[in-house]
Amino acid sequence: MFRFSNPKKFQELSDNVYPWMNFLAFIFILIGLYYSFFNSPPDYLQGETVRIMYIHVPSAWLSLMIYSSMGICSIISLIWKHTLADIISRSCAPIGASFTLVTLITGSIWGKPTWGTWWVWDARLTSELILLFIYLGHIILSNAFDDFRKGDKNAAILAIVGLINLPIIKWSVDWWNTLHQPASLTKFGAPSIDSVMLFPLIFMALGLTFLFVSILLDRIKGEIYLRKIELFKQEID
């Protein structure tokens, strides 16, 4: 399971995967944007505003998926002491924070014509905002110590505690009466969205996922180099 837990082996793997992630991200996003703007019809209630969905929804998915990955890496780090797990978690945090911010901004733009307001303290919106604060807290905490090991450990604990927020985000629209619409894709049975809108949404979700992996691999490589430099400085001192 931990075959690639060695940073050197992982870096060799990522060098082979990285170009493919860039290529797939470009292709899927290009196709997704084309179908989103030229093949997907306006909604009968929301009109052209519904096209924000093709950025908003995949970004929301990724904000949760990335944090889930950080939580898993943090558990692995605390139990098995794998350095690569800390590196991945630290590298994920700024990307996840960016997707969470995009989710909140596009949600506000979408909400104004749909709900008549930019922001309400809705359960889904508030819990997503809390997720952004947790991301930022992880970034600050992981960089708050001169010894990166201490930062990794404290940030890992925060990431694990923050996992409590994920089910709240996911099921908040079912647990509370909110303005946010209920799930339309992950319901039991058929999704309540037409295939002409579903396909570009899937293309955009896959494209942004490949983009995330591409950025993540690049950040991991940079983090590995930074740690090598830090360890080299410690040896000199």
Read off the pLDDT of each residue in 49-74 and give the average, rounded to a whole number. Answer: 95
Q: Residue 31 pLDDT > 90, yes or no?
A: yes
For range 30-38, the mean pLDDT: 94
Which range is most confident: 8-12, 192-196, 204-208, 226-230? 204-208
pTM: predicted TM-score of the whole model, two decimal places: 0.90
List pLDDT tens digits, range 124-171. Answer: 889 999 999 999 999 999 999 988 999 999 999 999 999 999 999 888
The model's confidence at residue 11, banded by pLDDT at 50, 70 and 90, is confident
**Strand locations in the chain, DSSP E?**
none
pLDDT band at 176 (very low <50, low <70, confident <90, very high): low
Assign 134 to helix, strand or coil.
Answer: helix
Q: What pLDDT does 188 receive?
A: 41
DSSP string, 149-171: HHHHHHHHHHHHHHTTHHHHHHH
3-state SS, 48-89, equals HHHHHHHHHHHHHHHHHHHHHHHHHHHHHHHHHCCHHHHHHH
Q: Is 43 in a helix, a strand, or coil?
A: strand
CA 97 – CA 157 distance, rounded (Å): 18
Residue 50 to residue 32: CA distance in whole angstroms: 15
Domain boundaries, the chain: 7-38+48-179+195-236
C-alpha dihedral over 140, 145, 148, 153, to 10 degrees?
A: -70
Least confident of 90-104, 111-125, 158-172, 192-206: 111-125
The separation between CA 60 and the C-alpha centre of its own chain, rounded to angstroms, equals 7
Percent helix, strand and coil across the chain, each to the nearest 5: 80, 0, 20
54 pLDDT band, cuts 50/70/90, is very high
